[in-house]
C-alpha cells in the first residue's frame, strides 16, 4: 500500500500543509487549549514547547498493539510535553518533563529518527503525543521521504485533538490511534482541567474515522491504514467506559479496532485523588469486554500490561 504522506509529498499537498501549520505557531491554536502564544518567538503555552519539537526518547517498542509491533517493534518517538496533562498520566515524566529530560530536534534530526527506526526494522513510525508538534512533524516528512521513509505513520494521541488540526493531516497520516479517556465533563475537569474533552474527543474520532476508516491489516497481520482506539479502564469508571463503548459502536463503527486496557496504575499526581488509588480487577476488565461485545464491537484487542519503555535519546543520537 502506498503511504498517504508519499502521495502528499509528490502532489505538493505536504508542502502546502507545512506552510499552513507553521503559521499557527505564531498565535498558537494547535490544540483545544488555544494558548495563543507566539511559539516562533519562544513563548510557551501549556504544552511547554516552543518552535522546535522536543523528544524524550525513541526506539523499537514491543508493548504496543500486536498489529503495530510486528516482528521488529513499533518505531516509537516520544515527544515531550502534552496539551492534556492528566493527573494520572502513565508517562508523567514525559508529559510533565524536567528540562534535562528532553532534547530539541529540528526537522532534519526528527526525520533522521524516523528513518533510523525504519532501518532498525520497525514496521511503522509511532508518534506519541504529537498534537502540539504537528507543524514540526510535517516539516520533517519531506526530509524523511527523501531519505527513504516508506512505513506507515501513526498518530498516537490523547484524543484531545482539534478537528481543524486533524484536517491538516488528512491525506498524510496512515493510522490514527487516539485514546478516549473520559465521557463525563466532570471527570475531564477534575483529572485534566479540560471539561470540553468528551465533546472534543467525539468530534476528533469522527474526523479520524472519516479520513482513514476501519483498520486495514495486511497478510502479515500488520496494520496498514485506519483507526485504532484505546480506552484505559479507570477506578470507578465503569459507567463512562460503557458510554464510550456505546459511542464507538453506534457512531464510529462496529468494526472499530478497540483496545480496552487494564494497565492503570497510580502514577503522576493520582495519589492526591483518593478515588484513583484502586487497581482494575479482572472482573472489571471482563465486564468491560462483555459490554463491548454486547454493543457489537467485534475487533477487540486483548489485554496487555507493560511499561512503555523507550531508548534514551542522547545528543549523539539526535545528530547522527
pLDDT at 267 (0 to 100): 87
Is the pLDDT at 210 greater than 60, yes or no?
A: yes
3-state secondary structure of 26: coil
Lowest pLDDT segment from 78-82, 94-98, 183-187, 313-317: 313-317
Q: Which residues contact 100 (CB under 8 A, 6 or more apart)?
A: none
Strand pairing report for 103-105 and 53-61 = antiparallel
Q: Which three three-digit cell numbers place residue 205? A: 474520532
Domain borders along the chain are 4-312
- Rounded average pLDDT over 110-116: 98
> Residue 259 above 70 pLDDT?
yes
Domain 4-312: which topology?
Answer: TIM Barrel (3.20.20)
> Which pLDDT score, from 0 to 100, does residue 309 have?
36
- Whole-structure pTM value: 0.92
For the cut 70, the answer to whether the pLDDT of residue 23 exceeds it is yes
pLDDT score at 82: 93
CA distance 64 to 310: 12
Which backbone phi and psi does 79 adopt, to 5 degrees?
Answer: -85, 140
| 239 pLDDT higher than 90 | yes
313 contact partners, CB below 8 Å, separation of at least 6: 55, 56, 57, 58, 103
Amino acid at each position: 500500500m502506498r503511504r498517504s504522506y508519499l502521495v502528499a509529498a509528490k502532489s505538493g499537498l505536504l508542502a502546502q500543509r507545512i506552510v499552513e501549520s507553521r503559521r499557527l505557531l505564531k498565535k498558537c491554536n494547535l490544540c483545544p487549549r488555544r494558548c495563543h502564544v507566539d511559539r516562533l518567538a519562544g513563548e510557551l503555552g501549556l504544552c511547554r514547547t516552543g518552535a522546535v519539537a522536543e523528544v524524550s526518547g525513541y526506539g523499537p517498542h514491543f508493548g504496543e498493539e500486536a498489529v503495530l509491533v510486528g516482528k521488529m517493534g513499533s518505531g516509537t518517538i516520544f515527544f515531550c510535553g502534552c496539551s492534556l496533562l492528566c493527573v494520572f498520566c502513565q508517562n508523567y515524566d514525559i508529559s510533565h518533563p524536567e528540562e534535562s529530560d528532553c532534547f530539541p530536534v529540528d526537522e532534519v534530526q526528527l526525520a533522521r529518527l524516523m528513518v533510523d527506526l525504519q532501518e532498525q526494522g520497525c514496521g511503522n513510525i509511532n508518534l506519541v503525543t504529537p498534537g502540539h508538534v504537528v507543524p514540526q512533524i510535517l516539516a520533517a516528512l519531506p526530509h524523511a521521504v527523501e531519505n527513504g521513509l516508506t512505513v506507515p505513520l501513526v498518530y498516537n494521541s490523547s484524543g484531545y485533538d482539534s478537528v481543524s488540526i486533524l484536517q491538516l493531516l488528512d491525506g498524510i497520516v496512515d493510522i490514527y490511534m487516539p485514546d478516549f479517556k473520559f465521557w463525563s465533563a466532570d471527570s475531564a475537569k477534575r483529572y485534566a482541567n479540560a471539561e470540553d474533552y468528551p465533546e472534543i474527543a467525539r468530534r476528533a474520532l469522527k474526523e479520524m474515522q472519516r479520513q482513514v476508516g476501519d483498520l486495514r491489516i495486511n497478510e502479515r497481520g500488520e496494520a496498514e491504514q485506519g483507526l485504532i482506539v484505546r480506552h484505559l479502564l479507570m477506578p470507578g469508571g465503569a459507567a463512562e467506559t460503557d458510554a464510550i463503548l456505546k459511542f464507538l459502536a453506534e457512531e464510529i463503527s462496529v468494526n472499530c479496532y478497540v483496545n480496552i486496557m487494564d494497565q492503570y496504575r497510580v502514577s503522576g499526581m493520582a495519589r492526591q485523588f483518593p478515588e484513583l488509588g484502586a487497581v482494575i480487577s479482572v472482573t472489571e476488565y471482563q465486564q468491560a469486554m462483555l459490554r463491548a461485545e454486547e454493543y457489537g464491537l467485534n475487533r477487540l484487542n486483548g489485554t496487555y500490561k507493560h511499561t512503555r519503555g523507550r531508548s534514551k535519546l542522547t545528543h549523539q543520537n539526535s545528530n547522527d
